[in-house]
Amino acid sequence: MTATTTAVSDATGMESVDSFRLRAREWIPANLRRLADLPADEGAQRNVSSDESAWQRARALQRTLYEGGFAGICYPKEYGGLGLTSAHQRAFNEEVAGHEMPMRLNVPTFTICGPTILDMGSEEHKREHLAAAIRGDEVLVQFLSEPGSGSDLAGATTRAERDGDVFVLNGSKIWSSGAYAADYALCLARTDWDAPKHRGLTMFLMKVHQPGVHIERIKQVNGGDEFCQEFFDDVVVPASAVVGEVGGGWAVASRQLFHERNAVGGGSPYFSGARAEGRRGTETDALIDLVRRTGRADDPYARELIAEAHALGVIHGHLVDRVTAGMRTQKMPPTAGSLIRLFHGESATRQAEIALELAGPAAAMSAPDGPDTREVGVSFLFRQATQLGGGSTEMARNIISERILGMAREYAADRDVPFNQVRHGR
């Protein structure tokens, strides 16, 4: 169903932000359900639940957006997007607040994998996979980390050996969220063991479900099992799956990390849906609700803690605006995304701490007839995930001090050493 309001374009042929916003305002309530109206079993868990039906729902919603002309807002037209600006996306995000959206497709499909393919992929990759993702037909995932290399991503030991027109992959990848429900993956593998570590890597855009790929789910502290580990046993990948150059995988991974920092920090223009940062978000409302239920709304200390948590959320939005402007005007280097990544980790940690303090003993247990504060305790247990996922905050601090402040690089024993001579732990 398309909106009846007519699009108004400027001299360059691009629809104005106001016109786009008005069309979205008309289309959204007619095509997307209000979050408040969702059945209880679809409600609270809709963005974290890891069953297959939640992924099917996300794909269906993405198709609805596509058919309505509101999918891939910042993606180029030739690859199935709308070719509009981040201002259009922001307007849409504001209008769509409070409605059901395919939020789980944002990371990594639209904010990390898509932009990386756009930067580094072949024309065929872009035409095929970006368009499919925007239609809701393809979900993308990252195969980057390995059991033996987390922060030291370039130390990957998954092996890809050329055999005529194909590569054969052996090894294992880990921490790939939602891999079980994905279609294609950006997979970093080693193709040259004689080259120093950064120069022997190649990136593949590979089919996830195929012979030789075995996927296991990893259960997390908070009970979720979105994380996966993949095992490759003679997996055959065509040479056309190479993204960028053979041996040039690190350049692709670097773009991926750049987009990941932006995505995790909240600065990606490809993120579609309402954001919590930058205005009075659901987090603040939840904390206010919490102190009311625990009878501490008049406690001056509790009030100050709520204000502190709220301020961090608001400032996060301001920082995203500043860093985005800094990178756009080239007054900040592209690595400045590390600033928002670090802020996110630090503020989420503090906010989890504050919620725990506000809930008090009620976070340690839950009674069927008492205030439901179990989630606060569980979130606290899972707290460090915000300092780990999307690159650890230690790596963010390295990047800020080295790339932004120009301080000396950390010593690396494997620099310029052929990879097959680099020492590994057990």
Partner 1 sequence: MRFELTADQRLLQTATADYLEKSAPLGVIRALHDEGRTFDRDTWRRGAELGWTSLVVPEETGGGSVSGEGVVDATVIAEQFGRGCAPGPLAVVNVVAAALAEAAGADRHAGLLGRLLDGSMVAAWACCAPGRGWDPEAGAIEARPDGDGYVLDGTHDGVEHGGDADAFLVLAHTPEGLSQFVVERDADGVSVLPLESLDMVRGFARVDYAGVRVPATALVGAAGGAAAAVERQFQLAVVLQCAELVGVVERVLEFTRQWMFDRYSFGRPLASYQELKHRMADMTLWSESGQATMAAAARAVQERRADAGELVSVAKSYLGQRATDIIQDCVQLHGGLGVTWEHDIHIYLRRATVNRLMWGTPSAHRRRIADLLNV
Q: Where does this chain bind partner 1 (CB under 8 A)?
A: 280, 284, 288, 291, 297, 300, 303-304, 306-308, 310-311, 314-315, 318-319, 321-323, 325-326, 329, 331-332, 339, 342-343, 346, 394, 396-398, 400-402, 404-405, 407-408, 410
Q: Which is nearer to partner 1, 408 or 413 (CB)?
A: 408
Whole-number Å distance between alpha carbons of 381 and 383 = 5
Q: What is the nearest approach in angstroms of partner 1 to the Cβ of residue 155? A: 19
Q: Which is nearer to partner 1, 233 or 304 (CB)?
A: 304
Radius of gyration of the chain (CA): 22
Terminal alpha carbon distance of the chain: 57
Q: Which amino acid is at 266?
A: G
Beta strands in 61-158 (DSSP E): 140-143
Q: What is the nearest approach in angstroms of partner 1 to the Cβ of residue 309? A: 10
Q: What is the nearest approach in angstroms of partner 1 to the Cβ of residue 201? A: 25
Question: Which residues face 212 on adjacent strands?
Answer: none
DSSP per residue over 400-414, as a string? IIIIIS-PPPPP-TT
Q: What is the nearest approach in angstroms of partner 1 to the Cβ of residue 289? A: 10
Q: What is the nearest approach in angstroms of partner 1 to the Cβ of residue 288? A: 5
Distance of CA 131 to the CA centre of its chain: 19
Report the greatest alpha carbon distance in the chain: 73
Residue (of 98, 90, 91) closest to 324 by Cα position: 90
Q: What is the nearest approach in angstroms of partner 1 to the Cβ of residue 407? A: 4
Q: What is the nearest approach in angstroms of partner 1 to the Cβ of residue 318? A: 4
Q: Which is nearer to partner 1, 42 or 353 (CB)?
A: 353
Q: Which is nearer to partner 1, 183 or 402 (CB)?
A: 402
Please confirm whether the linkage preceding 418 is cis (ω < 30° from 0).
no
Q: Which is nearer to partner 1, 11 or 408 (CB)?
A: 408
Q: Which is nearer to partner 1, 230 or 277 (CB)?
A: 277
Q: What is the nearest approach in angstroms of partner 1 to the Cβ of residue 362? A: 18
Which residues are CB-contacts of 374 (< 8 A; sequence separation ≥ 6)?
Answer: 363, 366
Q: Which is nearer to partner 1, 169 or 319 (CB)?
A: 319
Distance of CA 397 to the CA centre of its chain: 20
Q: What is the nearest approach in angstroms of partner 1 to the Cβ of residue 277? A: 12
Q: Which is nearer to partner 1, 155 or 278 (CB)?
A: 278
155, 149 in Cβ contact below 8 A? yes
Please confirm whether the linkage preceding 108 is cis (ω < 30° from 0).
yes
Which residues are CB-contacts of 356 (< 8 A; sequence separation ≥ 6)?
Answer: 363, 376, 377, 380
Residue (of 160, 182, 67) closest to 114 by Cα position: 182
What is the chain's length?
Answer: 426
The torsion angles phi and psi of 270, rounded to 5 degrees, stand at: -95, 0
Q: Which is nearer to partner 1, 119 or 353 (CB)?
A: 353
Number of H-type helices and E-type strands within the chain: 14, 8
Whole-number Å distance between alpha carbons of 377 and 365 = 8
Residue (of 396, 113, 140, 107) closest to 263 by Cα position: 107
Q: What is the nearest approach in angstroms of partner 1 to the Cβ of residue 348? A: 14
Q: Which is nearer to partner 1, 48 or 325 (CB)?
A: 325
